[in-house]
Structure 1
Amino acid sequence: MSAPHLPKVAGIDPEVPVSTQTAAPLREIPAAPGAFIQDRLAGWVSDLTTLHELTERLAATATLDAALNELLHAGAALVGARRGLLVLERAGSTTPSTTLGLGLGPADLGHLETVERSATALGRILDGPPEAADARDGIATPDLLGDQDLDPRHREVATRLGYAASYALPLASEAAGRLGGAVWFYDEPGEPSEKQRHLVGLYARYATEHLARLTELERARADIATVAEELLPSRLPRIPGVRLAARHRTGPQGGGDWYDALPLPDHALGLAVGSVGGSGPSAMAAMGRLRASLRAYAVMEGEDPVAVLSDLELLLRLTEPARTATALFAYCEPATRKVVLAGAGHTPPLVLGDRRCEYVETTLSAPLGMLACWEAPSVEFSPAPGETVLLYTDGLLRRTGDAMDRAFARLHSAAASVPKADRHDPAAVTDHVLRAMLPDGLDRSDSTEDVVVLAAHFD
């Protein structure tokens, strides 16, 4: 007799033996194998985005001071600190060092300077060999006050300023070398993580390259400004009956705007402003030659401004035929308050007094070098006692960014708004006009225009 067959239920074969060992109940669903990798990638993307934003902000800085401030703030954000100190000090350079603090006042910086450099991490970075491994990777001091070997003066300053840890990093790269170092201070014991060190190290290397470019650019600008100042009068003459004031600013590339004031025979005074076309060392050299030539012609025949500019035109046409220039020369007799002037394509002077503010009507003329023979009639006028004659170059008008007609109206309005109490001081007049015309300041770095303003106040 055959054995009975067990019924099949729900597709389960009853003949298959059942295991006596059962698995533990499933309490949570395991993560997919790629989730960990995705989290890591998301973290990397976030870090790279942060680093990109910070480097973009740094690249947008156009001056060294702005770049140093941005570096200090960005570094503090990357390492999680609140305060910091940066020293720009290139080894072997004669340029004075630059010190900048974040969250530290002048008194705090003074306290830090009393600590011997060799006793601080920043000092070891600045004075140590560039190839030192700890200098390249940064120096972390996670517990300053707990360090038994800490310099007593350093401990005293840290206690006074209220920081308990620091992280110092060199500002160095292979191309630029070592430019200096930065240190960030923590209020509590701690140190940046490995990821934070990696990010701030990448940022610091990029910042070093940017700082090196800005340093060279500012050095070149300073050299250009020095040369430009040497080509202009070192001081204004003192002539009875007239007081003088001048303001001059050379563009970043060096330009050809100039002015002059020289005493002439019979207690007369020669005033001149001009502009040479182009920019750079070539324009500055041409400006120097043109100014020197005008001085010679003014001494010989200054009472005839037309003759002075005619000689200057001939000289320019024969020696530099490819160059153009504008110029205005005024022959002044302060005792009689008589002014005779002639202009070659230059902007007209402006007369400011208690009862009037108006442009002097000059004859139309082409710039020097534009015609085969230049000659335009001169103009004579007499400033009243207490009036100021303002000479300037068109860089003052162009710096405003307005159309020329609006720039002339703006200059007239600026001169007319000089307070009456300041109208007898030529320096106060020039400063007021510059503030009104250029609210952002005369030294705005993003402008390529030279600016010259020469004021003569007649007593």
Structure 2
Amino acid sequence: MLDIPRRVRVHVDALLAPQIDMGVCDADERDTPVGKPTAMSAPHLPKVAGIDSSVPGPAHTAASTAASLPGVPAAPAPPGALIQDRLAGWVSDLTTLHELIERLVRTSTLDDALAELLRAGSALVGARRGMVVLEPADGLGPATTVGLGLAHADLGHIETVPRSATSYGRILDGLPDPGAHPDLLGEAELDPRHREVAARLGYAASYALPLSPEDTGDGASAGAATTGPLAAGRLGAVVWLYDEPAEPVERQRHLIGLYVRYATEHLARLVELRRARVQVATVAEELLPSRLPRVPGVQLAARHRSHPRGGGDWYDALPLPEGALGLAVGSVSGSGPSALAAMGRLRASLRAYAVMEGEDPVAVLSDLELLLRLTEPARTATALFAYAEPGLRKIVLAGAGHTPPLIIGEQRTEFVETSLSAPLGMLSCWEAPSEELSPAPGETVLLYTDGLLRRTGEPMDRAFARLHAAAASVPKADRPDPGAVADHILRTMLPEGLDAPVEGEDVVLLAARFE
């Protein structure tokens, strides 16, 4: 039994009802013999997928076989053979549609879904190349163009054609368009630029459909209330290109219409997800320093990447009185908008405490812990604050459940021994001794969050060893630049880059090189 999703069943049931009303059941009752005919169990060749009430008689019946022999009279078709072929065609179509929709549902990113839409549609309509233009009608984006069998330069050539002269352009502008152009070069009214581009790229026909809940070319309405990007109208348009004059037959149009209707809803969900992630990333960036301060005697560089849903890792660098510098990194438990808001409040509070009593990092973290416990008792956080005097090359720091800093220099690469302490919000009263260190000229002090270690997927002891090895292998030419040091460590620790999605793990690096 086919495992067909509920949404597909609804479309197919709606399709089968009119087929039955057209007389299929009556034909069954009229043609059913008293005994079981042997022709009913005769093997049949596989059919091409197609849901069509007017499927012609199969070519392998006795009638067609006899007709192909001169002088032999044609025999009547076996009773029920037409109905059996129709049912076989419907089952084949449902199987094909089910497999293509399953592949589409497995896509989790917008780019993958658009590529899968083009591949599946190409197989259904029999075209080798295609292009999908995503352009939500509400104007909120994202806007993109993806091609199948078309290079980036080919897409550029197509975009030089006046928008009103192309099928996808008329669809996006809400203008009427037949969708199918079986012979583009033979159309007398074809725009000269369009004719030139079609001849250069070697396509002679096109078939376009809107990515819209209203109509997908199969003559049926989506019949469901739309929300999100689809509420404003069309999401975009998709067009397939034929190398020779051609157009899809009625069965192909119906199948591609059903598929595109479902694909449009899936794309709308991914568009909404993309928009939410962009908004979260924008908020996260706004909550962090827009630029690092310039303080004599020290060079700063930072690298940061939030989880797509929004994480609570943060960093800060602020100038303090008498040429001092405050450096901080931290992580708030949880993810999403609530974690972002908590991170913003915690960072703002730490800046205030650092200005008032920054020379005592223990007092700064004690005040921060008290604030967190009183205002958000259900949340915990880790933090590290360092009070640096670049002129004296002196750093006093304290950490609350945070990973130890790393000193990178010509003569040494080692972790700073900090006292073990609990994260903020876990004890009734937090306090831990501070540590003091003196970096040598040219050494870089690296502060980071544990997301850098967790993204490796290794146990923490191996991740720490991997971080130490990455820092020790920084090329000599990169050591004078703290940004180059941070980039080398990231490339070594995370070969797939910061864009590789890892559930719930942010990455923060803050590098300070002392002159």
Q: TM-score, normalised by structure 2?
A: 0.80
Q: Take 1:422 and 1:42, find their aligned partners in 2: how far apart are those partners?
A: 68
Whether 1:354 and 2:410 are equivalent positions in the alignment is yes
**Larger deviation: 253-262 or 420-429?**
420-429
Q: CA deviation at 1:29?
A: 7.9
After superposition, give the CA deviation of every residue in 1:109-138 in whole Å (9 maximum; x if it has no partner): 222222222211111211126xx6x6xxx6
Q: Take 2:446 and 2:75, find their aligned partners in 1: how far apart are those partners?
A: 85
In the alignment, which of 403, 419, 431 is matched to residue 363 of structure 1?
419
Q: Take 1:364 and 1:190, find their aligned partners in 2: how far apart are those partners?
A: 73
Q: For residue 38 of structure 2, what is the aligned residue in structure 1?
A: none
Give the secondary-structure state (helix, strand or coil) at the position aligned to 2:366.
helix
Whether 1:49 and 2:89 are equivalent positions in the alignment is no
Q: For residue 409 of structure 1, what is the aligned residue in structure 2?
A: 465
Q: Take 2:111 and 2:284, find their aligned partners in 1: how far apart are those partners?
A: 23
After superposition, give the CA deviation of every residue in 1:206-238 in whole Å (9 maximum; x if it has no partner): 111111011111111111111111110000011
Q: Take 2:110 and 2:351, find their aligned partners in 1: how far apart are those partners?
A: 38
Q: For residue 113 of structure 2, what is the aligned residue in structure 1?
A: 67
Q: Take 1:340 and 1:407, find their aligned partners in 2: how far apart are those partners?
A: 26
Whether 1:145 and 2:164 are equivalent positions in the alignment is no
Q: For residue 189 of structure 1, what is the aligned residue in structure 2?
A: 245
Whether 1:343 and 2:383 are equivalent positions in the alignment is no
Aligned-pair identity (%)? 77
Instruction: For 1:178, give the aligned amino acid.
Output: R
Q: For residue 33 of structure 1, what is the aligned residue in structure 2?
A: 79
Q: Call closer, same or farther: CA 1:357–1:30 in 2, change over 3 Å.
A: farther
Q: CA deviation at 1:30?
A: 6.6
Q: Take 1:354 and 1:195, find their aligned partners in 2: how far apart are those partners?
A: 72
Give the secondary-structure state (helix, strand or coil) at the position aligned to 1:454.
strand
Q: For residue 58 of structure 2, what is the aligned residue in structure 1?
A: none
- Map residues 321-400 of structure 1 onto 2, 5 A cutoff: 321-400=377-456
After superposition, give the CA deviation of every residue in 1:136-187 in whole Å (9 maximum; x if it has no partner): xx61101011111111221111112111111111111242342010111111
Compare CA radii of gyration and give the structure with the larger one.
1
Q: CA deviation at 1:307?
A: 1.0
Give the secondary-structure state (helix, strand or coil) at the position aligned to 1:363.
coil
Does structure 1 conserve the Cα–Cα contact (< 8 Å) formed by 2:455 and 2:502? no
After superposition, give the CA deviation of every residue in 1:229-276 in whole Å (9 maximum; x if it has no partner): 111000001112211111111112211110000111111111100011
In the alignment, which of 315, 334, 338 is matched to residue 278 of structure 1?
334
Q: Call closer, same or farther: CA 1:35–1:411 in 2, change over 3 Å.
A: farther
Q: Call closer, same or farther: CA 1:257–1:42 in 2, change over 3 Å.
A: same
Whether 1:429 and 2:475 are equivalent positions in the alignment is no
Q: Take 2:299 and 2:452, find their aligned partners in 1: how far apart are those partners?
A: 22
Q: Take 1:89 and 1:44, find their aligned partners in 2: how far apart are those partners?
A: 34
**Larger deviation: 277-286 or 52-61?**
52-61
Q: For residue 130 of structure 2, what is the aligned residue in structure 1?
A: 84
Give the secondary-structure state (helix, strand or coil) at the position aligned to 1:323.
coil
Whether 1:171 and 2:211 are equivalent positions in the alignment is yes
Does structure 2 conserve the Cα–Cα contact (< 8 Å) formed by 1:255 and 1:449? yes
In the alignment, which of 179, 198, 202 is matched to residue 258 of structure 2?
202
Instruction: For 1:163, give the aligned amino acid.
Output: Y
Q: Take 1:33 and 1:411, find their aligned partners in 2: how far apart are those partners?
A: 76
Q: Take 1:217 and 1:168, find their aligned partners in 2: how far apart are those partners?
A: 26
Instruction: For 1:125, give the aligned amino acid.
Output: I
Q: CA deviation at 1:387?
A: 1.5
Instruction: For 2:195, give the aligned amino acid.
Output: R
Instruction: For 1:322, give the aligned amino acid.
Output: A
In the alignment, which of 143, 150, 159 is matched to residue 199 of structure 2?
159
Give the secondary-structure state (helix, strand or coil) at the position aligned to 2:100.
helix
Q: Take 2:72 and 2:143, find their aligned partners in 1: how far apart are those partners?
A: 67
Q: Take 1:440 and 1:39, find their aligned partners in 2: how far apart are those partners?
A: 51
Q: For residue 280 of structure 2, what is the aligned residue in structure 1?
A: 224
Q: Take 1:298 and 1:33, find their aligned partners in 2: how far apart are those partners?
A: 91
After superposition, give the CA deviation of every residue in 1:399-437 in whole Å (9 maximum; x if it has no partner): 222222222222222222222221221111111212222
Q: CA deviation at 1:367?
A: 0.7
Give the secondary-structure state (helix, strand or coil) at the position aligned to 2:234.
strand
Q: For residue 318 of structure 1, what is the aligned residue in structure 2?
A: 374
- Map residues 251-330 of structure 1 onto 2, 5 A cutoff: 251-330=307-386
Does structure 2 conserve the Cα–Cα contact (< 8 Å) formed by 1:399 and 1:447? no
Q: Take 1:456 and 1:388, find their aligned partners in 2: how far apart are those partners?
A: 5
In the alignment, which of 294, 314, 317 is matched to residue 238 of structure 1?
294
Q: Take 1:445 and 1:198, find their aligned partners in 2: how far apart are those partners?
A: 38
Q: For residue 453 of structure 1, what is the aligned residue in structure 2?
A: 509
Does structure 2 conserve the Cα–Cα contact (< 8 Å) formed by 1:231 and 1:288? yes
In the alignment, which of 410, 429, 438 is matched to residue 494 of structure 2?
438
Whether 1:120 and 2:160 are equivalent positions in the alignment is no
The two structures, once aligned, show a CA RMSD in angstroms of 1.9
Give the secondary-structure state (helix, strand or coil) at the position aligned to 1:178.
coil
After superposition, give the CA deviation of every residue in 1:29-57 in whole Å (9 maximum; x if it has no partner): 87643444333333333332222222222
Instruction: For 2:265, give the aligned amino acid.
Output: E
Instruction: Structure 2: give runs of 5+ residues left out of the alignment.
Output: 1-70, 214-221
Does structure 1 conserve the Cα–Cα contact (< 8 Å) formed by 2:142 and 2:271? no
Does structure 2 conserve the Cα–Cα contact (< 8 Å) formed by 1:390 and 1:453? yes
**Larger deviation: 195-204 or 371-380?**
195-204
Q: CA deviation at 1:27?
A: 7.8
Give the secondary-structure state (helix, strand or coil) at the position aligned to 1:61.
coil
Instruction: For 1:166, give the aligned amino acid.
Output: S
Q: CA deviation at 1:87?
A: 0.8
Q: Take 2:92 and 2:491, find their aligned partners in 1: how far apart are those partners?
A: 45
Instruction: For 1:413, give the aligned amino acid.
Output: A
Q: Call closer, same or farther: CA 1:420–1:46 in 2, change over 3 Å.
A: farther
After superposition, give the CA deviation of every residue in 1:350-371 in whole Å (9 maximum; x if it has no partner): 1112222221110000111111
Q: Take 2:467 and 2:142, find their aligned partners in 1: how far apart are those partners?
A: 39
In the alignment, which of 101, 109, 112 is matched to residue 147 of structure 2?
101
Q: Call closer, same or farther: CA 1:29–1:435 in 2, change over 3 Å.
A: farther
Does structure 2 conserve the Cα–Cα contact (< 8 Å) formed by 1:357 and 1:415? yes
Q: Take 1:385 and 1:422, find their aligned partners in 2: how far apart are those partners?
A: 15
Give the secondary-structure state (helix, strand or coil) at the position aligned to 2:235.
strand
Q: Take 1:100 and 1:210, find their aligned partners in 2: how far apart are those partners?
A: 17
**Larger deviation: 151-160 or 416-425?**
416-425
Give the secondary-structure state (helix, strand or coil) at the position aligned to 1:246.
strand
Q: Take 2:487 and 2:124, find their aligned partners in 1: how far apart are those partners?
A: 43
Q: Take 2:377 and 2:137, find their aligned partners in 1: how far apart are those partners?
A: 47
